[in-house]
Structure 1
Amino acid sequence: MYDMASVTDPERDEPADEPTPSRTKRVWTYGLIAVSVIAVAVVIVGLLLPGPESELTTAPPSSSDVPSSAAAPTENRVVDEPFDPKAPIPGCDTVEVPDTGDGKITSSFTTGEPSYDNPRFPWFTGPKATAMSDALRQLLPAGAELQFATESQSLVFQPITDFGDPDPMGSTNAYGSVTNGDARGSLQVVVQKTSAKVPPCVAGQLDARRVLSDATVVDVHDTWQEINGVRTNRRSAYAYAGDGSWIQAIADDAYGDNKKQNSGKIPLAIDDLVRMAGDPGLRVSTAVPAGTPAPRDECLAYYGGADGPEVTREQAARLDRVLATIDFRDRRPPPLQISGSTNNGLCTTVPAAGSLPRLDISIAGGQSPPAQERPDPTSGERTSIRRLGDGTVISMSRSFYSTAPIDDPGAAQSEMSTTVIVTRPNGNQVAVVSRSSFAPALPPAELEEIALTPGLEL
């Protein structure tokens, strides 16, 4: 095995300090051995007021929202905008009186397997998700800007979660934060296929019913709701198309981590939402252009995990231009994206090709150098840390490990990885990881050259 301890350059380097062990290396290790998640916890919110808004709308869970085990249902006090149950609704011949319930929300947790290519939902595939996502982003009005965020929070339609229902009516959800002048909030679009008829008009659940030129029915609603005393303004357009598409476009004025802040102004107008919900590009029967790829996976940043400064779209674009100057042997990494594990780092992956292994690249600011820990002879990993003359710290490690599915131990796969992490004195950190299960990982010197590329800093 390659001995990382033997890699030194005595003419320009000096031994780095050896700080005490910390959680930093453990974080890197967890990132390196992460595998795809096969089940997702979903927060199912059922309003006691009936109607499509309560039946179909779910907020996208964040990693901090998902419990480690099933939790008992919780109750929150809800106050809706008052309405006249006897008032006529434009576009509705009759109006039904709602079941008022007791004004509470009941939440519970369940699990299912998400997929882009589940035969139980033949209309939905990875390329279909990309086509719908592209169409949705093009429907944002002039002046509205999608916040730079992770792939799952950038109006990318997510896999359908299959809960095993006898009559599958799975839905796909696209979510993003949007600004428009001084208005700031979120947009959520939900698409599903159903054989159900257009629901009746129910007082308090829509302000008007519109019929588009192609006979698509769209219900619009502009309202507010208070949960535990916190008011959120919300407007929506629910479209029922002739091909069985039910499309919801919902905007509100909530933003920030877990939507805990409110701007007081919704960034999208009712007509914007009607245009989205009624657009043919989001319908289940719309054909996908040939050659459309599936959505790319979220990448993970391989660094210490400190809360560094937020990164911007402009910084990512500049760093993409720097990456374009690097020789990846006829390969080209896709544009940098915000890491799925943090909002403060960028990452991308150079795909494997032929005998060349995959390269994972991540960049972040505000980081500390990795700690030198006592070698573990049973870990299969060798690490060395050294310091350059300008104070830059370079960590190099090489490891070999094997993973296997829990239900099929015989399907074990071995993987070799080489990791180089360059930490500048200003806290900028670049990590380059060579990973392969079929070819030798790239030598540390080649990874170091990539990580030390001039300009590869936030």
Structure 2
Amino acid sequence: MVDDTSSSPSKRVWTYALVLVSVVALAFVVVGLVLPSPDPELTTALPPSSESQPTDTAAPETPDVVSEPFDQNAPIPGCDVVEVPDASGYTTFTGMGNPSYDNPDFPWFSGPKATAMSAALAAALPARAEIAFAGPSQPLIFQPITSLGDPDPEPRGSTVASGEVVSGDVRGTVSVQVQRSSDAVPACVAGQLDQRRTLPDGVVVDVHDTWQEVDGVRALSRTARAYVPDGSWVTAWASDATGTNQRDNSGSVPLTIDDLMRIVVDPGLRVSTPVAPGTPVPMEDCVTGFESYEGPPVTRERARELDEILATVDLGGARLPPMVPAGRSAQGMLCTGVEDLGGDVGIYVTIVGGQPVPAGERPVPGRGSQKKTRTLADGTVVQTDVTWQSGSSTTDPRKPIRRTTHSVVVTRPTGTRISVSSTAASPSEPMSIQELENIAVTPGLEL
């Protein structure tokens, strides 16, 4: 691993030059606002990161929240009976679990299923709408499911795809949630829908167009929620929220109610729709040992040009997925990777511009390092490393295994830094250092 950043107590230390973010156990709280809100089911509160935690223990001020007023006695088109909202205001579920594309509690879902659903979602967007250029967890890619931990016989959990969408000069956030449920179609509740539509094929769709003000700032949102006879509950939600922390508002929602309707009734988003053989697993978020180095912003067009260059790399028939920004905060860094080229051998690539030429050697944390550095005739610095990790087999804890990582980091005089690494668990071997270097010095890989 190459790390040219200064050390600090808060800095993450990564073993590999590039790794895919592993799925870890986490505790979480899902809070659904029963009173009218932009969309309660799509609100998931995860523990804050160390960067976002408050520096003092004082209780935060309660925000002033104002929702669009409604008449709880007014009829709702398509509803025979309209119920009054729950006076308690909130419903909270707490649980712990492992978010996974292969969660045994949800046999209908898998990595290939997530890929197929993501493709269906992208195709269901109107032609005028474009998904904003973002990292793997942000460009409307369905994410792993975590069980909510409730004691019901039918485990509750859903997969969600979120991202910013640009429609003409309008930008906002779109989220789509899919879950399987054997429950009956919920009752109509005042303030939570404007209309219920029952389609000829038996699909029931609730739509809602509303607003909410928090401390005087108005946020707009629209929702379509489909209840499908096969047990699919599909919710599409669009708002005018923008920015990394969703704290800005554009004043316009990028999708109409009809747009959201087309999404939620799309057969490709239903839990019973089969997946074509050979469909790949989505690429997970990737991070790097030099993540703190954020290079100049990279356009989608430049990323596609780099994809064409990387497509010339011989990976024995495999092809690297399109490059995407490496995380939500590193928009100037691109990454791609294949977790299994065959024989549990993976390859991962990151490219970032605006980087300093490495000044010198630093010891690598951990054991078994064989780090070397050399400078080519044109001033390009090549750093190579071989590391090992020992562990046990996940299928047989008594069986020891060793995971080997080969990594090459090339820093060009122009400031472009290319990191290429390969990992494999015994008895397989990763790609050789020479093979990785040949990829890293491929002409044209420049930012």
The interval holding the TM-score normalised by the smaller chain is: 0.7 to 0.9
Instruction: Indicate the residue corresponding to 2:267 in structure 1.
Output: 280
Instruction: Indicate the residue corresponding to 1:15 in structure 2.
Output: none
Question: 2: distance between equivalents of 1:136 and 1:376?
Answer: 43
Q: 1:242 offset after TM fit, Å?
A: 1.9
Question: 1: distance between equivalents of 2:4 and 2:76?
Answer: 69
Aligned pair partner of 1:114 in 96, 99, 104: 99
- Are the aligned partners of 2:27 and 2:47 in contact in 1 as well (CA < 8 Å)? no
Deviations 1:171-193 (A, max 9, x none): 11111210101111111111112
SS for the counterpart of 1:127 is: helix
SS for the counterpart of 2:370 is: strand
Deviations 1:416-436 (A, max 9, x none): 223221112332110111323
Amino acid at match of 1:81: E
Q: 1:265 offset after TM fit, Å?
A: 0.6
Deviations 1:198-235 (A, max 9, x none): 22222211111112221211111111112343321000
Aligned pair partner of 1:87 in 51, 64, 74: 74
Amino acid at match of 2:165: V
Aligned pair partner of 1:454 in 436, 443, 447: 443
Aligned pair partner of 2:347 in 334, 344, 359: 359
1:22 partnered with 2:10: no
Q: 1:446 offset after TM fit, Å?
A: 3.7
Structure 1: give runs of 5+ residues left out of the alignment. Answer: 1-18
Amino acid at match of 1:367: Q
SS for the counterpart of 1:210 is: strand
Question: 1: distance between equivalents of 2:339 and 2:141?
Answer: 21
More helix by share: 1
Amino acid at match of 1:415: R
Identity of aligned residues (%): 51
Structure 2: give runs of 5+ residues left out of the alignment. Answer: none
1:11-410 to 2 correspondence within 5 Å?
A: 22-23=6-7, 27=13, 29=15, 36-49=22-35, 53-54=39-40, 56-59=41-44, 64=49, 76-101=63-88, 110-167=95-152, 168-340=155-327, 342-350=330-338, 357-375=345-363, 379-404=367-392, 410=398
SS for the counterpart of 1:153 is: coil
Question: 2: distance between equivalents of 1:259 and 1:200?
Answer: 31
Question: 2: distance between equivalents of 1:30 and 1:106?
Answer: 42
Q: 1:363 offset after TM fit, Å?
A: 0.7
Q: 1:251 offset after TM fit, Å?
A: 0.3
Which 10-residue stretch deviates more, 146-155 or 72-81?
72-81
Amino acid at match of 1:455: G
RMSD: 3.6
Cα 1:304/1:246, change in 2 over 3 Å: closer
- Are the aligned partners of 2:36 and 2:67 in contact in 1 as well (CA < 8 Å)? no
- Are the aligned partners of 1:253 and 1:264 in contact in 2 as well (CA < 8 Å)? yes
- Are the aligned partners of 1:301 and 1:363 in contact in 2 as well (CA < 8 Å)? no
Bigger radius of gyration: 1
- Are the aligned partners of 2:21 and 2:284 in contact in 1 as well (CA < 8 Å)? no
Q: TM-score, normalised by structure 2?
A: 0.84
- Are the aligned partners of 2:112 and 2:279 in contact in 1 as well (CA < 8 Å)? yes
Aligned length: 436
Cα 1:63/1:313, change in 2 over 3 Å: farther
SS for the counterpart of 2:302 is: helix
Q: 1:64 offset after TM fit, Å?
A: 3.8
Amino acid at match of 1:150: G
Q: 1:402 offset after TM fit, Å?
A: 2.0
Q: 1:329 offset after TM fit, Å?
A: 4.8
Q: 1:154 offset after TM fit, Å?
A: 1.9
Question: 2: distance between equivalents of 1:227 and 1:359?
Answer: 45
Question: 2: distance between equivalents of 1:110 and 1:351?
Answer: 29
Amino acid at match of 1:96: E
- Are the aligned partners of 1:301 and 1:346 in contact in 2 as well (CA < 8 Å)? no
Deviations 1:409-454 (A, max 9, x none): 7454312223221112332110111323334555544433321111
Question: 1: distance between equivalents of 2:169 and 2:343?
Answer: 51
- Are the aligned partners of 2:116 and 2:279 in contact in 1 as well (CA < 8 Å)? yes
Cα 1:371/1:39, change in 2 over 3 Å: farther
Which 10-residue stretch deviates more, 227-236 or 35-44?
35-44
SS for the counterpart of 1:348 is: strand
Amino acid at match of 1:45: V
Q: 1:306 offset after TM fit, Å?
A: 1.0
- Are the aligned partners of 1:152 and 1:175 in contact in 2 as well (CA < 8 Å)? yes
Question: 2: distance between equivalents of 1:368 and 1:155?
Answer: 34
Question: 2: distance between equivalents of 1:38 and 1:378?
Answer: 22
Cα 1:333/1:138, change in 2 over 3 Å: same
- Are the aligned partners of 1:132 and 1:281 in contact in 2 as well (CA < 8 Å)? yes
Question: 1: distance between equivalents of 2:326 and 2:87?
Answer: 43
